[in-house]
Amino acid sequence: MDSKLKILVINSLSERQIAMIESVDPCIEVSTCEWGEISRHIAGADVLVPWGWMDISPYFASASRLRWIQTLSAGVEKIIFPALINSDVLLTSARGIHGIPVSEHVLAMLLSFTRGLHLNLRSQVYKKWQRFPSDEAHEKTVGIIGLGSVGRIIAKKCKALNMRVIAVKQHMSEELFVDLLLGPEELDHLLSSSDYVVLSVPLTPATYHLINAERLQKMKQDAFLINISRGQVIDEKALMDALRAGQIAGAGLDVFDTEPLPADHPLWNFDNVIITPHCAALSPYYLDRAVALIADNVARYLRGREMLNVINKQKGY
């Protein structure tokens, strides 16, 4: 019997990063491959480390040794499929490593709207000297839907701007940087009270089109919606209708129903929409943080300790 714990990472890693994982225990053997090569390597893997967008279901039956999947991303919606749910294969995510870049991305969008930078950038393209209305984030209310590891860091940084923070969370807890914590049944109160609404929830059946036409109508007319979770959390048609009707002031979107966003998509044409190409989590330090988490979880796995970020495969988070 092979005594090695074979870890297959579906991404390139540096020698230093591989060494970091292998230094946990002499039994560990790390190999890497590209997504298009997975069929040639997965059969020998005890642990698979893919990105959350990778559909591994066609290869699952041939992964006879597989015991554990550790994603490189927080989102796991594309990884979960019936055969995996019904198996004993453990699923863990990289939740918790995205907080710094994603929270900075949220603040960049929030402050761009507050100071009118999105409009000034458009004027710069045409060399047009024009002033736009400006506001302050100071003492404004930000509503965070989903207070996980990313949501908490967003809350902390918004408090540093002297903003009032309210949040919706599945389960009540003591939160240092939240002024008002609400349950899911009080979502409408958050929407009607917030100057900025930030979506920071996983995509599950319960959060699909969570922000629909009815909920957009609950928002303040001068409020902005920021989405750094998943595109399907918003009903895009309802959002565009609300923007056209002036029901909300604007939207900052990093995620979309279809990615890349098609060139002929109407969202490109709104002056009050900031579009970024699903890059909120990007950072030169991302893989180092992911590798540190993987190494920690491998150590926990081998020593029979509680694992980090274990996913309930039935619930999807």
Q: Which of 41, 105, 230, 236 is catalytic?
A: 230
**Count of Cβ atoms closer than 10 Å to residue 234 Cβ:** 25
Q: Which of 189, 278, 289, 300 is catalytic?
A: 278
> With DSSP H G I counted as helix, E B as strand and the rest as coil, what are the percentages for the chain, rounded to 5?
35, 15, 50
Q: What is the DSSP string of 140-185?
A: -EEEEE--SHHHHHHHHHHHHTT-EEEEE-SS----TT-SEEE-GG
Helix and strand counts by DSSP (H, E) for the chain: 11, 12
Active site residue 259: yes
Cα 177 to chain centroid distance, Å, stands at 20
Q: Which of 139, 244, 259, 305 is catalytic?
A: 259
CA–CA separation, 201 and 245 (whole Å)? 26
Judge whether 79 and 52 are in contact, CB under 8 Å: yes
Helices (H), the chain: 15-22, 38-41, 57-60, 82-85, 99-115, 117-125, 149-160, 187-193, 213-218, 236-245, 286-303
Please name the residues in contact with 75: beta carbons below 8 A apart, sequence gap of 6 or more.
52, 53, 93, 202, 203, 230
Residues in the chain: 317
Q: Is the peptide bond before 101 cis (omega within 30 degrees of 0)?
A: no
Active site residue 105: no
CA–CA separation, 253 and 237 (whole Å)? 14
Please identify every residue annotated as catalytic: 230, 259, 278
